[in-house]
Structure 1
Amino acid sequence: ARLLIVLHHLVVDGVSWRVLLPDLAQAWQRVREGQHPELPPVGTSLRRWAHALHDEANNNTRTTELPYWLGSVDGPDPLLGRRALDPVIDVVDTLDYVWAEVSPEVTEALLTVLPGVFRSGAGDGLLAGLALAVATWRRERGVDESSLLVRLEGHGREEDAAPGADLSRTLGWFTTMYPVRLTIENTNINEALTAGPAAGTLIKTIKEQLLTIPDKGIGYGLLRYLNQETAPQLAPHPTGQIAFNYLGRFSTTDMPEHLRGLAWTQSPGTATTVATPDADMPALSVLDVNALVTEGRDGARLTARFGFPTGILSTQEVQELADLWCAALEALAEHVRQPDAGGLTPSDVPLVSVHQSE
């Protein structure tokens, strides 16, 4: 009693499924009632969007982002494992995986309480925990580095890149990938890991750094691949050994209320089903972290998959890092539930120029 739908990533991304499945449910509802399926029109086609991105890549306003992106990638990034990533040797067939998860209580604190008291995004706490975990993991191995160069993935539907675009019903692969350098040099790591005041300072620091990213990162790909003048300047710089992607929350509420009960929702127990790419495809990262929230019998639960080439990192090393990430998230969750947690950051008062201490 299941239907398997398979689409190549070239034509579908995570947001596309949230468009496609309600469409299928609505079409089936009309067919069942003996009517012809009629769906709302698509605002902007993928073809039109692709042409708009080519134009935007050569926009003078967009090229002013180049110093920001060069500043992100031009800095320290100590080796995580035994050697650097080799696309010839480190292929999909050599990858192994470690899974990590936190309790529904921690999930609720991270994705609901934390954004509320810190006026931040849902992913800010997850990245704060990752930066804290990696710094701790490196320190235990004699590497003192307070910054983390990480390649983030975003949904890529940044309509401001093409004024007038409407991508709310467009299917395709819009995903953006861009490098971000997260610095926690002024954070007391031990205090943060015990849910002390440093945990709040860390969240505020990461929040402000993420807010400096222009247009949620779409400009990096434009300048790296579609602008002939800026591409050679960005090409020599790696975008980080760690990739992080927060896929969001998947639940039955993704289906509009009037279409529930018609099936077309994800079957129980399939949330962690992942299609395996071709065995010879090069690995893109030394550590690839994909996080998502799924609904269970005991509530919503944050789960993450840590993928890594076994020629660079061992399962034990990655397990230790995954455990540190979970411990960091638990500490942040404990902190944000304290009565004095939260507070303003400079981005919350844009009409005046103040520093965090002020």
Structure 2
Amino acid sequence: MMATGKTDRRRLRHIAGSFTRQDLSSLSVPSTRSKRLPETDAERTLQQIWARTLNLSEDFGIDESFFSLGGDSISAMQVSVAARWYGLLFSANDMVLNNTVTKLAHALQILKLERGDSPAAREAGPSNFDSDFCLSPIQQFHFQTRSPGPDLMDVPFYIRFTKSIPPQTIKDTLHAVVERHPMLRARFHRDVAGSWVQYICQKAENSLLFRHFIESSDSQKIEAITGCREKIDIEHGPSFVAILFTDLDHQTLFLSAHHLLIDFVSWRVIFQDMEDFITLRGFGLSTSSSYQEWCNFQTDYSSTHLVPDSALHYEPDYSDITYWGLAHEPGPETYTHSRFSLNKSVSTTLLTLKSETVEFRPHELLMAALGFSFRRTFPDRNLPPIFTEGHGRDAWTESFDLSQTVGWFTTMFPVQVAPEEGENLFDYILQTKECLQNIPRRGWSYFASKFLNEKGRQAFGHDPIEINFNFLGHFQQLERQSSLMEAISLPAGCKLEAMGPMKTVGLFDVTIIIERGEIEADFKYNTRAKHQDKIEAWIAAYKTVLLEFVSTANDIRPSSAPK
């Protein structure tokens, strides 16, 4: 990165061109390098925790990268939480910096000397019940961009229990979860100035709607699910709904909460709490800060410190946004979906590719391939910035621990690369990786500045989002053979999306999730945009690019590398 904040293209090409054949040929799966097994108690414990979190067998080498094993920043938080049961105290960021069992086990000794035997995070203070507090940036974004009509933007899950659980135990568990996490009791209203604010109800009454049905047909299940989702009310409650279906040979549970209360990391926390409560009759230790406390401190800090220059070090190129001919955003009924999936063999290769010289993560590869296929399909266009969504739990200080906090933390920030003619996908990966590395606090600074800093609102407030990319990763905890719960598809004919009328975040919303080892891609876009035939070709090209990358993985190299 040059002093101007732009990518030093000459230096990048020089580095890429210096890779040897041996460096580049290491992009293969699996690696032939011999594996080192754990030797110390700490290494053995960490290997077991990683294996359980990532749903792997305990036979991987202790020098293998957490990310090449299928981990990401979200599962790193899960590892950090699980390790506390064994007295191992480290943060998700410590894992990112020490991404092998060997490195992390060694770092634990240093961390213990630096921080002592207790977590660095502040203890969660009591919630100030029934008192208004400010919205987070993503909550503000929701109210600014939501469509007219009922606000029913929920996040549903449908799970099956792997063994029979008494219905009363399930009901008691859900009530305990609502008591444990204040945001599941949140309400929203307009203050005297007409701005939306939120508060926490002290009592759980009217926050959870629980229903139990026995021997229901699919049509009855669809009717019950739809009815409960329509009852979600952010102003009066309930904000969290659950339906238990007990059939002859299995039990299924539908769960949903309004997105203002919850994100996908929060669901991971809730599922773990449910399993702990059912199997252990209680919850594990939590030192997480409260969402209310986080919102207030974040607002105070951002208003003073997050000026635009410190939040983003480059200027994205929005010059071609008019290409699609959408001067005025039409209603939500003009959106459509296009989906594809990649089989488990192809997905495994893409998710575990590794290089001795440059480590790249799955989301970097998938985002780079999205941009690469865009340029292949639209050669008359500059590559627009690709906004990507982050989990948003990257605090400016380690005194906050948000790893087990339920709330909506999502951030969105622009990733801009400037490809040159003739560059291949590996070039795009290198540029994407470099850009992500130079974005402060994984995009949290940009998004907080955009909504919580006066100068940030002026600088970033009107940034158009052309392409929005969201990599949700795995839900490994619902795929383990030993898990109490497993995710399943909703009954045929049951709407999966949010119930209310929704616009896309960008002109194109691209969501990637890993379901049982398979990559599933979903494109949501506006049917009134120009170039519909090219849009369809772009989606097909994205799949083709990923398949091509797998087929040439043993010989992939930057365009400037020696042949």
Q: Which among 328, 331, 344 is matched to residue 90 of structure 1? A: 331
Matching residue of 1:43: 288
1:313, distance to aligned residue in structure 2 (A): 5.1
Structure 1 segment 5-16 matched on structure 2, within 5 A: 5-16=255-266
* Cα 1:274/1:106, change in 2 over 3 Å: same
1:316, distance to aligned residue in structure 2 (A): 4.2
Tell me which amino acid in the other structure corresponds to 2:339: W
Quote the Cα distance in structure 1 between the aligned partners of 2:295 and 2:346. Answer: 40
1:314, distance to aligned residue in structure 2 (A): 6.9
Q: Which among 258, 267, 276 is matched to residue 498 of structure 2? A: 276
1:175, distance to aligned residue in structure 2 (A): 0.3
Q: Which among 370, 387, 394 is matched to residue 158 of structure 1? A: 394
* Cα 1:115/1:85, change in 2 over 3 Å: farther
Alpha-carbon contact 2:312-2:446 (below 8 Å) kept: no
Quote the Cα distance in structure 1 between the aligned partners of 2:490 and 2:461. Answer: 41
TM-score (norm. length: structure 1)? 0.77
Matching residue of 2:185: none
Tell me which amino acid in the other structure corresponds to 1:84: L
Q: Which among 14, 17, 29 is matched to residue 279 of structure 2? A: 29
Matching residue of 1:265: 486
Deviates more, 1:306-315 or 1:20-29: 306-315
Matching residue of 1:336: 553
Quote the Cα distance in structure 1 between the aligned partners of 2:355 and 2:275. Answer: 32
Q: Which among 343, 348, 351 is matched to residue 103 of structure 1? A: 343
- 3-state secondary structure, aligned to 1:182: coil
Alpha-carbon contact 1:243-1:287 (below 8 Å) kept: yes
* Cα 1:62/1:244, change in 2 over 3 Å: same
* Cα 1:68/1:80, change in 2 over 3 Å: same
Tell me which amino acid in the other structure corresponds to 1:305: D
Matching residue of 1:302: 519
- 3-state secondary structure, aligned to 1:205: helix
1:128, distance to aligned residue in structure 2 (A): 1.2
Structure 1 segment 1-358 matched on structure 2, within 5 A: 1-30=251-280, 36-60=281-305, 63-66=308-311, 68=313, 71-72=315-316, 74-81=317-324, 83-84=325-326, 86-87=328-329, 89-91=330-332, 93-114=333-354, 118-139=358-379, 143-145=380-382, 147-159=383-395, 161-188=396-423, 198-238=424-464, 240-252=465-477, 260-262=482-484, 264-267=485-488, 274-279=496-501, 281-295=502-516, 300-312=517-529, 316-338=533-555
TM-superposition CA deviations, 1:271-295 (whole Å, max 9, x none): x97323422x443321110111111
- 3-state secondary structure, aligned to 1:200: helix
Paired residues in the alignment total 308
- 3-state secondary structure, aligned to 1:21: helix
1:86, distance to aligned residue in structure 2 (A): 3.0
* Percent pairwise identity: 22
Quote the Cα distance in structure 2 between the aligned partners of 1:117 and 1:108. Answer: 21
Deviates more, 1:241-250 or 1:327-336: 327-336
1:55, distance to aligned residue in structure 2 (A): 2.4
1:166, distance to aligned residue in structure 2 (A): 0.7
1:224, distance to aligned residue in structure 2 (A): 1.0
Q: What runs of 5+ residues in structure 1 fail to find an aligned partner? A: 31-35, 189-197, 343-355
Alpha-carbon contact 2:277-2:283 (below 8 Å) kept: yes
1:101, distance to aligned residue in structure 2 (A): 1.9
* Cα 1:136/1:38, change in 2 over 3 Å: closer
Alpha-carbon contact 2:307-2:453 (below 8 Å) kept: no
TM-superposition CA deviations, 1:160-190 (whole Å, max 9, x none): x2431111111111100112212212543xx
- 3-state secondary structure, aligned to 1:5: strand
* Cα 1:261/1:219, change in 2 over 3 Å: closer
Quote the Cα distance in structure 1 between the aligned partners of 2:354 and 2:270. Answer: 31
1:109, distance to aligned residue in structure 2 (A): 2.1
- 3-state secondary structure, aligned to 1:68: coil
* Cα 1:37/1:328, change in 2 over 3 Å: same
- 3-state secondary structure, aligned to 2:487: coil
Quote the Cα distance in structure 2 between the aligned partners of 1:116 and 1:90. Answer: 49
Matching residue of 2:235: none
* Cα 1:251/1:273, change in 2 over 3 Å: farther
Quote the Cα distance in structure 2 between the aligned partners of 1:18 and 1:148. Answer: 33
1:245, distance to aligned residue in structure 2 (A): 0.4
Alpha-carbon contact 1:42-1:170 (below 8 Å) kept: no
* Cα 1:187/1:162, change in 2 over 3 Å: farther
Structure with greater Cα Rg = 2
CA RMSD of aligned residues (A): 2.8
TM-superposition CA deviations, 1:195-249 (whole Å, max 9, x none): xxx33333222222222211100111221110113311222332x3111101002
TM-superposition CA deviations, 1:119-153 (whole Å, max 9, x none): 012211111111111111112xxx142x3212211
Alpha-carbon contact 1:199-1:331 (below 8 Å) kept: no
Quote the Cα distance in structure 2 between the aligned partners of 1:66 and 1:42. Answer: 28
Q: What runs of 5+ residues in structure 2 fail to find an aligned partner? A: 1-250
TM-score (norm. length: structure 2)? 0.50
Tell me which amino acid in the other structure corresponds to 2:452: L
Q: Which has the higher contact order (CA 8 A, sep 6+)?
A: 1
